[in-house]
Each structure stands twice: as structure tokens, then as C-alpha cells.
Amino acid sequence: MPPSAPTFSIDPSSRVARLNGAALSLGARAFDVLAYLNTHSARVVTKGELLESVWGGLAVEESNLTVQISALRKALGPKSIATVPGVGYKLALNETPDPVAEGPDLPDTPSLAVLPFANLTGQASQEYLVDGIATELIGALTRIGGLFVIAASSSFAYKGEAVQLADVGRALGVRYVLEGSVQQAGSALRISVQLVEAATGRAIWTDRFSGTLDDIFDLQDRLTESVAAAIEPTLRSAEALRSREKPQNDLRAYDICLQVEPLMRFTAKPDDFQRAFAMLDEAVALDPDYLYARALRCWAYTIACGGRFFSVDDAKHILPDAYAILDRGTDDATSLTYAAHSLAYLDKGAEIGLVGMRKAKALNPNSVTVLCSSGWLHAYVGDFDIALRDIERALRLNPLDPNTGFVRSALGPILLGLGRVSEAVEMLEQSYHEAPTYGSTVFTLMHSYWRADRLDDAKRMAHELLKIIPGLTLKHPLASTPFKYPPHLQLFKDCHRAVGIPEE
């Protein structure tokens, strides 16, 4: 039976709050925050609203609010105030908590989830910028050896939801949660952050970083260094590597890349990719030296071809960029990964791509992006044990990602290569359920059904595949597949013939 809610009362006139009959010792500002939350207990109260209402319009830092929330949680209990990531808080004292299932065990290394930051700029149009700052921070932190960092798409699954930080920590298997907010006045930015011990809700470190839109990268670097130093004293700021190569000429190129990334989803449509291509062309034109924009454009075409939305021939014009990125010797793991995977998929260059992937994994061993592509590329050449380890770690780092179908889809050819056919079918069926129009999953599920002696199901998948790729013949996948493993190539031939796909 779940525990009952505590007895709570508050009298604004006498300024006394009681918990289970006992008067609480609260500071004046903490009492005002609690009174406001109690008055509006039926809804979520935004951080901006609390700052405006409790501080009476004074220009105060958001950290003043987080200090008061921490004090209230200490007085009332860690689950007394629910956090709504990216929004604000909700009083939860009179709510009976639901039981929370146990998540993964805590890693041996310091573990962290970065929640969506609150947009206190006063402009809904800046939401993507605020999300981008938090995502950039996550990407930078994953590059620090000794940190276990949950991927953005998992921690961002909590955006807008009223959650208890202890429950978030338990569900994701992390010890710490990082919260933050972004304020803006003209071109000036202020990023406030607090590191919270998830189990207790205790704020163990807070800081703020001020600058302008023109030096946003320096802000992110300082933020990363301070977070690393706060949660693991043995890590020095020198180990907090820059999250990505930065544009040298035109910051609008960076802004465009932030807006493009949400378009490139596992469940995206051809029109989304066409829009992404056009925007990335603009970014490259604005700043031809911005390596990440070129790498992201390579990746957009590769993802689109993997979904069978576009043919490999339609994408080969970006291959010079992919090769140039590898030749340049960049230390940006994400750009290396996008380039390496692109030439492996679009130019049958898995062996060359793996050289870049190994460097990317050494630079950023905790990146889900790096691990996922490493798993795919090792599967292309038949190194299935390495591929499986990389994909399983990617899924562990990204347990709540709504886009895990792309990661899980890699388990199909990997498990087939290891002879674990029934597991391959199970994983691919789950991936297919998440995105039934994603061509790579349909393609491999057809092969898995055939290997499992489920010919009728294999023919059903062939019918679905022909909807995605009208006029498909055996010649097409053999000519364009990135796979080099001979048994897989033979599987393509045997399966396609069995399900009735013509030779040419």
C-alpha cells in the first residue's frame, strides 16, 4: 500500500505553516514561495511567475528561487515539491505518490542526468535555443572520461511533466540531476544551474554564467567545466572538452543547425528531410568553414537513405564533405561520427569509416551517437560482438529515448549475425511497432522472419517494403547495401527470392 500524504496547512495571515501539526521554521522568502505554490497547488507554477510574484518584479537571479526550493524540500521532505523540467514547480504535499519501479543500478562512476532548462527569456520562440544549450552541455559532458551521462533524448522525455527528482534518479539509474534556466535581456544571456542529489532533492552546487549570444560557446565551456568539477573533484576543467567545433564566421549557421536537429528523427517524413537539406545548405553557405554544419548535412542524407526515403545515388554528392571531414583530423567526435557513418553507408566505406569511428569513440566514449554508429559500422563488417556491446551501452545510456528505434534496429543484423534469430525478430518487431515506415527496420525484419521459417510474415514485410520502395528488385539492395559480411549478403539473395522480389 502506498504511503499516505502528510497533513499540511498554511495560514498566510499569521505566516505559519504546519506539517503533521508541527510548525515549520521557514525564512520569509521561503514562506512566500510556499504560500504561492499552495495557492496555486492545482497547477504548475512557472519559475518566471514565482520570481515575478514573490520578488515583486525585482531583478533577481533564478538561483535565489532554487535556494528557496531547496530549503522547502529540506523542511517538508524531498518529494514535497515536484519539478516540471523546463517549466517550474508544483506543490505535491497533498498528493499520494505512486509507486515507482526500480530502474538500472547506479554505475560505479559519477552519474548524471541533465533535465531540460527553463526558458525565462520571455520568448517562446527562444525555446529551441534554451533546449540547444542544455543539449550542448550534455554532449560536452559525455566527452569527459569517468562520467556516466544520460542522453538528451532520455532526460528530455520528462519535459513538461511533474516529476520527483528522486524518481527521475531511480528510473534513469543516476545519482545526480542537473537543472537550469536561461534568462535573456537583449543580447545578454544568463545561464543558472544547480546540481541536485536526486535521492534527497538537496542542492549541492549552484552557479550562474553571464555573457552574450556572441560568446555562447564560451558560456557553454565554462558551464561544462564547473559541472564536472562539482560532481567529481578529480576531474579538472582541462578535461571538459569543447562540445563541438564552432563556426568561425557567422553564428546564424549554428542557429540553423539547432533548428534542423529536431527534424531528423527516426519517424521523420521525406518533407522533413527536404526542409533539413535546404536549411543545412544555407548554414554551409553562411559559414563554409563550419565543419559541424557540413557533417550534419552528411548525416541528414544518410538517415534519409537509411529510412529508404531517398536513394543512395541521391545522396552521393555529399561524400566529398564526408571524406574531407575525416582527412581534416578534427577532434569533434560528433562530426567524425556523422562523416564516418555517411561514407560507410553511402560509399560502402565501412573499413575507412571505422578508422574515424575508433577515434570518435576514444574522444567521446559515452556518446550515444558515437556508440550507435560504431555498432552499425561494426555490424557492416561482421564484428558482431563489438557491435552488440556498443548498441547495448547506447541503449543503457538512452533508456527513455523516443527515437530508440534507430538504435534498436541495429540489433536486428547484429543478432542475426550471432545466430540469435528469435531475439532479432523480437527487437525488430519492437522497432517496427515504433516506426512502421522506417525502411531499414522493415528490410531486416523481412530477413529475420525468413530465417525464423516464418515465410508468410516475411512476405508480409516484403509487401510493406514495396510500398516504401516501389519497383524494388534484388539488384538494388545488393548494389547499395553497406554490409560487407558475406553471410548477410547471401541472406539478402535467398530471402528476396523466397518472398518473390524480382532479380532485376
Mean pLDDT of 435-449: 90
Q: Among 418, 370, 426, 440, which residue's Cα sits nearest to residue 398? A: 370
The CATH number given to whatever domain includes residue 190 is 3.40.50.10070
- What is the mean pLDDT of the segment spanning 298-314? 90
Task: Tell me, yes or no, whether 370 lies in a domain.
Answer: yes
Q: How confident is the model at residue 449 (pLDDT cuts 50, 70, 90)?
A: very high
What pLDDT digit, counting tens, does each position of 5-14 carry?
678 889 989 9
Please report the pLDDT score of residue 245 as a whole number.
55
- Using the 3D structure, point to which of 216, 243, 270 is the last residue of a domain: 243
Last residue of a domain, one of 223, 243, 263: 243
Mean pLDDT is highest, among 163-167, 249-253, 373-377, 397-401, for: 373-377
pLDDT, position 236:
33
Assign residue 470 the CATH number of its domain: 1.25.40.10
Same domain (yes/no): 451, 321:
yes
**Boundary (domain end) residue, out of 221, 243, 265:** 243
pTM of full prediction above 0.95: no
Which of 64, 63, 51, 85 lies closest to 191, judged by CA? Answer: 63
Q: Which domain holds residue 317?
A: 301-499
Judge if 231 and 345 occupy the same domain: no
Q: What share of the chain is helix, strand, coil (3-state, %, to 5)?
A: 55, 10, 30
Positive or negative CA dihedral for 374, 379, 380, 382? positive
Whether residue 242 is predicted with pLDDT greater than 80 in this model: the reply is no
Same domain, 60 and 129: yes
Helix (H, G, I), strand (E, B) or coil at 310: coil
pLDDT greater than 70 at residue 241: no
Average pLDDT, the chain: 86
Bigger pLDDT: 429 or 99?
Answer: 429
**How many angstroms separate the Cα of 5 from the Cα of each of 24, 69, 92, 163?**
17, 19, 9, 16
Indicate whether 132 belongs to any domain.
Answer: yes
Together in a domain, 331 and 398: yes
Contacts of 118 (CB under 8 A, 6+ apart): 46, 47, 48, 62, 85, 86, 87, 88, 130, 179, 180, 181, 182
If you write DSSP's letter for every residue of 96-148 in order, what string do you get?
PPPP----SPPPSS-EEEEPPPEE-SS-GGGHHHHHHHHHHHHHHHTTSTT-E
Q: Which residue has the cell 498566510?
A: 12
Report the domain count for the chain.
2
**Across 90-94, 144-148, 239-243, which has the greatest mean pLDDT?**
90-94
What is the torsion angle, in degrees rounded to the nearest 10, for the CA atoms of residue 396, residue 397, residue 398 and residue 400? 70
Instruction: Please check whether residues 196 and 58 belong to one and the same domain.
Output: yes
Which residue intervals of 145-234 are DSSP H helices? 152-155, 165-172, 216-231
C-alpha cell at 321: 564533405
Residue 458 has pLDDT above 70, yes or no: yes
252 in a domain, yes or no? no
Q: Looking at the structure, do residues 87 and 199 belong to the same domain, yes or no? A: yes
357-398 per-position pLDDT tens digit:
999 998 888 888 899 999 999 999 999 999 999 999 888 887
Any domain includes 43: yes
Are 81 and 148 found together in one domain? Answer: yes
pLDDT tens-place string over residues 267-278: 568 888 999 999
State how far the Cα of 12 lies from the Cα of 30, in Å rounded to an integer.
Answer: 13
DSSP 18-62: EETTEEP---HHHHHHHHHHHHTTTS-EEHHHHHHHHTTT----H
Helix ranges (DSSP H) in 402-454:
404-409, 411-417, 421-434, 439-451
33-74 pLDDT, tens per residue?
999 999 998 899 998 899 889 988 676 777 788 888 888 988
- Is the confidence at residue 234, as pLDDT, over 50? no
Establish if 466 belongs to a structural domain: yes
Q: In this structure, are 329 and 224 located in the same domain?
A: no
Specify if 171 maps to a domain: yes
Q: What is the DSSP secondary structure assignment for residue 398, as one 8-state letter?
A: -
- Residues 193, 61 within the same domain: yes
What is the C-alpha separation between 385 and 291, in angstroms, rounded? 32
**For 477-494, what is the mean pLDDT?**
91
Helix (H, G, I), strand (E, B) or coil at 309: coil
234 with 313, same domain?
no
Confidence at residue 230, expressed as pLDDT on a 0 to 100 scale:
67
Which cell numbers hold the place of 328? 581534416
387, 453: one domain: yes
Residue 286 lies in a domain: no
Minimum mean pLDDT range among 46-50, 230-234, 239-243, 494-498: 239-243
Q: Is 471 part of any domain?
A: yes
9: three-class secondary structure by DSSP: strand
Do 58 and 185 sit in the same domain of this protein?
yes
